[in-house]
């Protein structure tokens, strides 16, 4: 059986949650956009292949990366299967690979182009998984810089969930979970008073 990995790579920008797609230049589904992926190399594990694809596409590693599920019928070829993963990256750290044939680009999850295969279902499932993970883990660390304000963090959560949160309740919840802590530093933005900077207590996945 031919085995491949597909990686759903999310980031957050000013217009919300985005996913990385590549433009297919060959059949099947030529001209459509698709999630990045590829076949395993000889002796390569699934996790290693997913990490490799993530690094090839974004230039980053040591970020949150988790297996989702396996589906059959990859590229409409019999005796094939693909294992999907999803990853979270800080857009400021990303350097998309310079290969015009693939035309890698970020797309808003809320406004996707016509996708190849069943990639739309994969993305929708990944968004659901991400929202669930945020309820009981610290995985948002992978979307944030080393230091950030609570308003920055709240904006990321709101982009992912697609709704606004009460500022005081959000602050209380984040601090009570003990996944972030104050750095002792502040940042000034415009005419507003300096905002306190926070950091994650761990930049590795942890349960609340």
Mean pLDDT of 61-84: 78
pLDDT number for residue 103: 86
For residues 70 and 10, what is the distance between their CA atoms, to the nearest angstrom?
A: 19
Containing structural domain, residue 178: 139-200
Task: Give the domain-ending residue among 119, 151, 178.
Answer: 119
Pair 70, 6: CB distance under 8 Å = no
Residues 59 and 10 in one domain: yes
pLDDT, mean of residues 178-206 = 93
Q: Is the pLDDT of residue 102 over 80?
A: no
Please check whether residue 124 lies inside any domain of the structure. no
What's the rounded mean pLDDT across residues 122-133? 96
Output the pLDDT for position 14.
86
For residue 135, the model assigns a pLDDT of 94
In a domain, 49, yes or no: yes
Looking at the predicted structure, is the pLDDT value of residue 67 above 90? yes
Segment 106-133 mean pLDDT: 94
Range with lowest mean pLDDT among 82-96, 97-111, 168-182, 183-197? 97-111
Residues 145, 113, single domain; the answer is no
- pLDDT higher than threshold 70 for residue 87: yes
Question: What integer is the mean pLDDT of 83-104?
Answer: 88
Instruction: Clarify whether residues 19 and 77 are in a common domain.
Output: yes
**180/83 same-domain check:** no
My answer on whether 144 and 109 are in the same domain is no
Examine residue 134 and state whether it is found in any structural domain, yes or no. no
Residues 44 and 76 in one domain: yes
**Whether pLDDT at 118 is above 90:** no
Q: What crossing angle do the helices spanning 119-136 and 150-161 adopt, rounded to 10°?
A: 140
Question: Of 89, 119, 149, which closes a domain?
Answer: 119
**Residue 108 shares a structural domain with residue 147:** no
Is 60 a residue whose pLDDT tops 60?
Answer: yes
Same domain, 6 and 71: yes
pTM: 0.92
Q: How many domains does the chain have?
A: 2
Sign of CA dihedral 24, 30, 34, 40: negative
pLDDT digits (tens, 9 = 90+) for 130-179: 999 999 999 999 999 999 999 999 999 999 999 999 999 999 999 999 99
Residue 205 within any structural domain of the chain: no
> Can you give the CATH number for the domain in which 52 is found?
3.90.79.10
pLDDT value for 105: 94
**What is the overall mean pLDDT for the chain?**
91
DSSP lists the bridge partners of residue 5 as 38, 83
Q: Which of 119, 148, 182 is the last residue in one of the domains?
A: 119
Tell whether the model's pLDDT for residue 75 goes beyond 60: no
Mean local confidence (pLDDT), 113-123: 91
Residue 148 and residue 89 share a domain: no
Query: Quick check: is 176 in a domain?
Result: yes
Distance, CA of 77 to CA of 80 (rounded, Å): 6
pLDDT for residue 72: 65
206 occurs within a structural domain: no
- 33 with 113: CB under 8 angstroms? yes
CATH of the domain at 169: 1.10.10.10
* Whether residue 81 is found in the same domain as residue 177: no
**Residue 73 pLDDT more than 80?**
no
**Residue 80 to residue 122: CA distance in whole angstroms:** 17
pLDDT > 70: percent of the chain: 94
């Amino acid at each position: 059986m031919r085995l491949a990995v597909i990686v759903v790579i999310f980031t957050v920008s000013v217009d919300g949650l985005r996913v990385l797609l590549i433009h297919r230049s060959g059949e099947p589904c030529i001209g459509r956009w698709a999630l990045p992926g590829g076949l395993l190399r000889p002796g390569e594990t699934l996790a290693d292949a997913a990490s490799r694809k993530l690094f090839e596409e974004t230039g980053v590693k040591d970020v949150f990366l988790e297996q989702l599920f396996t589906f059959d019928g990859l590229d409409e070829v019999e005796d094939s299967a693909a294992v999907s993963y999803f990853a979270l990256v800080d857009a400021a750290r990303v350097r998309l690979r310079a290969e015009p044939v693939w035309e890698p680009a970020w797309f808003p999850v809320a406004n996707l182009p016509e996708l190849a295969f069943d990639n739309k279902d994969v993305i929708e499932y990944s968004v659901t998984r991400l929202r669930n993970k945020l309820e009981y883990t610290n995985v948002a660390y992978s979307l944030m810089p080393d230091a950030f304000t609570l308003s920055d963090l709240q904006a990321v959560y709101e982009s992912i969930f697609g709704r606004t949160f009460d500022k005081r309740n959000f602050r209380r919840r984040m601090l009570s979970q003990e996944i972030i802590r104050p750095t002792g530093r502040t940042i000034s933005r415009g005419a507003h008073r300096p905002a306190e900077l926070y950091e994650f207590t761990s930049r590795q996945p942890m349960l609340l």
